[in-house]
Structure 1
């Protein structure tokens, strides 16, 4: 069922470090990858909000009750370019900067983080095909990905290897003309429908990250077996599932990231993913807070609006306080990732991304629940997306490195940061 239109911010304006509306959508003043023209982008963001309110919001509850992805909505999203955000304009994409992409996923996540997460993963694959693939890859896959005729996934995780990515067991064995891939992947976003997949495999068992390579695999070829998607409570729109590779032959030209390079590239891309997940969390909290405040000003109890009671007002003030901190940490991470894309050095973005994801995921779940509580039983109605956001916040704690992994990353930096100060 649709969320009431008045409850969802239409433009989700990003904020500057001072807390003021910033029409550059998180872009630092010296952004080295400017992306779309600011005025064009502002108009596009409004178009995205309209798509969100008409094509996504009215259908989220139904899609979840049907326990499925929404490929038809992703195809509709493609009509305004949402599956090609970071594909260069010269190849038919929108040519957005990373910062602009983060703002767009905020806009979409105001009604459904799982839908936004599914969408951005196909978009990421399209951008990688455009930027890393050969001319043959672009000719074979790019137009279909941008149009939603095919969907994309990035396959790192396995049944026995999640946060410890270097421990993957899928093997890539050299054969005449290419590589033979064998193994299983699990917990893969979009796996319910995707068949253009950047897959990571071990070329030298026992070598951990040093031997990992990445391949562009085609799920329509022999040797690929799609497994049934997982039933995730409230998260079916992500299309999470897995697949098996049994004698899948990847031609030599489908080796995208050779050993000694692929592992580092994957870890670099994770910084960006952690950052846009943080942006998604900010959007869910802000949308839920806006709904709770609006309800509190309209509903009266004991002779005055509910928001006039100190206990509730202070609780929501705490939510806003933490949201401001979350937005600032996310902006810092966006700036760091943007800079790393310019310099090619991802190391400076690791900690900002970890801090942003740890804080936003840890606070989003409790703060969304607090906003729902502030609305009483009304907050549980499916006409509001708040329960869907609660599930989205829980999912955010796992994707692209669990909250514990972010904590460990920060902990390992402590000595270098403070021991000699």
Structure 2
């Protein structure tokens, strides 16, 4: 059976215990698999023959499939025109907006909610900047269990709130920021026997690591030089690094890509830690950015994310909201890929690092875009020229073409 292992003190626990941090030292937990257990389940030729999707990587997941909505199998686009704008020879976009709810969070929720069912639990909960709440609500509905969501009032795009409401979640808005919402939901989960499915839960991150698995498979089993990701709570960068480390240990891949995390200038505690070679992240009290999905001042997976960058020789950078919007528009207008603002930060960060000489033009790079354009339609209206309203006659229309 898999076990939970503390990354700080190496204490070990059964994966059937409902734990999110180490009871001994409050350190973060990771799921670990026995080498013999993986080898017994792993048939690489069979795995390669299966269609893309989260559950094809079952030997590297902590439970069996119990609730699924065809998550994963998201497209990897070769972005030639965007590569020219960025300044690199070879650029790929792994577009997680192709998931059922329009974000990467579905990968974690199919595993997290499946684990909840395995343990006989009937309630799941989260705090969210939007995408987590949408995914939790939909997978909770599919599983027939209750979903409880805490949101920072006025700080979540309405498209994401709408998803949670439509799928029957108990949505509670608090008059504070995401970090406070996470504190409260953790306390509420302990009081009310609710299974917490924020990314502090190591089970959820096991689903998210399959982003890296799919990208490498879609590249013909070649490892890119770098993977760029937006960083909010720092779950994705941590999860992908962990998953690819497992593949390297089992000789499925020969090396690890350099992991590169991007944040907004208004919300960059992770970047500050990397730039100053710190081992801990100093939280920001009032994070602010139009990229609401990464408006997080105290990333709970910070220690794992720092390790991902340091272990692979990667880097981190921050970009302005204006740079994010520019990259968002270029993705749409050069490649036809519509993403929410946080997603575009990965491309904006890559461009900035190329200009700085940190990334060389001949490095093969994958940028992960984490959520669909329609997740934040209000932002689109704010940053794009509105439609031109004219009289309904042909000549007037022709004059505006």
Q: What TM-score results when the alignment is normalised by the length of structure 2? A: 0.29
Q: What TM-score results when the alignment is normalised by the length of structure 1? A: 0.28
